[in-house]
Structure 1
Amino acid sequence: MACIFISSCNLNQYQQVNFKDKQYFLTFNKDIPSKIETKVKKIIKSSSDEVKAETFQISIIDYQIKRYEVYSGSALRSLETEIKGNLKISIKVKDISLNKNFMAMKRFGSIELNPLAETEMLNFMESEIIDDLVGQLILEVNLIDM
């Protein structure tokens, strides 16, 4: 009985993603904001300017962010605001090409008397969406890399 318990509680060591061992070639469309470019370039460093056979070619094609206001009742202002971010990428390794579409959504209450606080909340939510999308991109590159 104790032997079964010990073998079933086997935990593996956490492995940190190491992007320094591989070669990556990053390209960004001209419509991609500089926030996304800098965050991706900090984590995934482009190792060379030339593309080799085993180089991961990561192209960030499109980024969109949409804002949707939710109205209810007799209020003239929106009760909630929903922000959706969409990131379209293409990854090429050797002869394999993958096109991915990542989406992140945030919703928050927008009944705020201070319009400055509302714009700050929008900026904060947009940066959170960018962080989520970059995290999804890193996870996808790591899964393909394995």
Structure 2
Amino acid sequence: MEALIEVHKSDDYPHRWPHDPADWLTPENMAAAWVAEHENRIVVHFVIVDKAGALWVSRLFVRPGHRGSLVGDALLRQARIGGASMLDVIERSGKAIELYERTGWTLVDRRPAEWTMSDGRRPVERIYRADSHSTKHNPTGLTLR
């Protein structure tokens, strides 16, 4: 929970703090989950969820001190190994968008989100599809589990 709290304070993610954060981290449609650890601390988290028969990356966050360390790249490769082929992100998430596009995810759609921000606005989501980049190399030295 410590990593989620740190990311929320830094980036306002999740955009609405969940009533039950542990439940939010493990949604009912979850097919798999991964974390990356550094010095026995979780630095990255994501789940794969099943949405209408497609596997999507969801709940992905990286602790601020580990951004730019290639850990996001490694986790996105792991997501593809796990079968994930789709992800979404809101348009104001510039660094996340840079990560997805740098690692070969292709923008396939833009649409209003089905949920609202804490201020009541409905953000625009960018929908990405995975490409066929190599999924075998982990240059980070972090433990993925």
TM bucket, shorter chain: under 0.3
Which protein, 1 or 2, shows the higher relative CO under an 8 Å CA cutoff with sep ≥ 6?
Answer: 2
- TM-score normalised over the length of structure 1: 0.25
Would you tell me which structure has more helix in proportion to its own residues? 1
